A and B are shown apart, each in its own frame.
Chain A
Amino acid sequence: MLIHDQSRPGRRARAQAPRQAPAMTEIPEDLRRRAPPPLPAVSEMQVVRHYTRLSQQNFSIDTHFYPLGSCTMKYNPRACNSLAMLPGFLARHPLAPDSHGQGVLACLHELQEMLKAVTGMHAVSLAPAAGAQGEFAGVAMIRAYHLAQGDQGRTEILVPDAAHGTNPASAVMCGFTVREIPTGGDGDVDLAALEAMVGPQTAGIMLTNPSTVGVFERNIGPIAARVHEAGGLLYYDGANLNAILGKVRPGDMGFDVIHMNLHKTFSTPHGGGGPGAGPVGVCERLEPYLPVPLVAFDGETYEWQTERQRPDSIGWLTAFGGNMGILLRAYVYARMLGREGMVRVSEFATLNANYLLARLRAAGFEAAYPARRASHEFIITLKREARELGVSAMDFAKRLLDYGYHAPTTYFPLLVPECLLIEPTESETKEDLDGFVEAMIAIRREAEEDPEKVKGAPHDQPVRRLDEVRAARQLDLAWKPSTGSEKGDG
Chain B
Amino acid sequence: MLGLSKKDTTFLVVVIFLTLMTPILLQPFPEGSVLAQFNAGYPDLMQRFAIYGIFAIGFNILFGLTGYLSFGHAAFLGVGSYSVVWMYKLLGYNVVPGLLLAVVTAGLFALLIGYISLRRSGIYFSILTLAFAQMSFNLAYSVLTPLTNGETGLQVYTDDPQILMGAGSPNSPHFFGIVMNESAKIDVGGWQFTFNNGYYFCAIIAIIVFYLSLRIFRSPFGIMLRAIKTNQTRMTYTGLNPRPYTLAAFVISGMYAGLAGGLLASMDPLAGAERMQWTASGEVVLMTILGGAGTLMGPILGAGFIKYFENIFSKINDDILHTWFAALPDGLEDAIVFMVHPFIGKGWSLTLGLLFMMVVIFLPGGLIEGGNRIWRLVTGRSRNRNTPGKDAQHHPKPTAHVN
A binds B: no
